[in-house]
Amino acid sequence: MAVTVQMQCTSAVTEIYQDAFVGSSLENGTTMITFDLRKHDLQQELGPHATLCWRKEAYHVDVHELSTFHNPIISRFILVQGSSLDGQNQRISFTPEIKGVSTSQHMSKSVIRLACSLAVVCGVSLRHSALIFFTLFLIPIPKSSIKRWIDDMGSHVPAPEEMLRHLLAIAPTES
């Protein structure tokens, strides 16, 4: 006898896209949370007088989420490229942006931050970080991706002299 258990789970992504939430399902041992961004309130983002038009070809982006369940979680975002007319009747093309998600890496920002923290702050090697993510969170991440993410995050860190100048401005040293 099969037993179905329903539960409500929330994340930063489900909070942001409540209006676009379609539903969730269990597919091949993976929890799929589906969002249709065509339902998201883009009128607010594009302006009250914008006229929205959608192209017919929809596509989806699957994004791995951190999961403490016994199965992985993937958020599926259904997207369509669209256009709108501005006040001067100029056509503006757009694709709905997915906040908190990297569509190029197919990971949530929390996954990327945790992977970098494990490798840098905790001193765990890239191989061990990838193993931890696969074992604990059921997310397959190659070492090269973690290395790219660390390099990208590190490129925004100020130089040591600039950090020291900033810290001294906050709390000057006493002689």
In this prediction, residue 113 has a pLDDT band, given cuts at 50, 70 and 90, of: confident
Q: pLDDT for 25-55, tens place per residue?
A: 888 888 888 888 877 766 666 666 666 666 7
Q: How many residues does the chain have?
A: 175
Q: Could you give the C-alpha distances from 149 to 13, 83, 95, 155, 159, in angstroms and in order?
A: 20, 32, 24, 10, 19
Q: What strand order describes the sheet that includes 107-108?
A: 21-27, 30-36, 73-79, 59-65, 107-108, 101-102
Rounded Cα gap, residues 45 and 116, in angstroms: 32
- pTM assigned to the model: 0.63
pLDDT of residue 132: 85
Contact 13, 100 (CB under 8 A): yes
More confident residue, 5 or 173: 173
Helices marked H in the chain — which ranges?
Answer: 12-16, 42-46, 109-120, 126-137, 143-154, 160-170
The overall average pLDDT reported for the chain is 77
pLDDT of residue 163: 83
pLDDT of residue 45: 61
Rounded Cα gap, residues 4 and 122, in angstroms: 39
Helix (H, G, I), strand (E, B), or coil: what is residue 139? coil
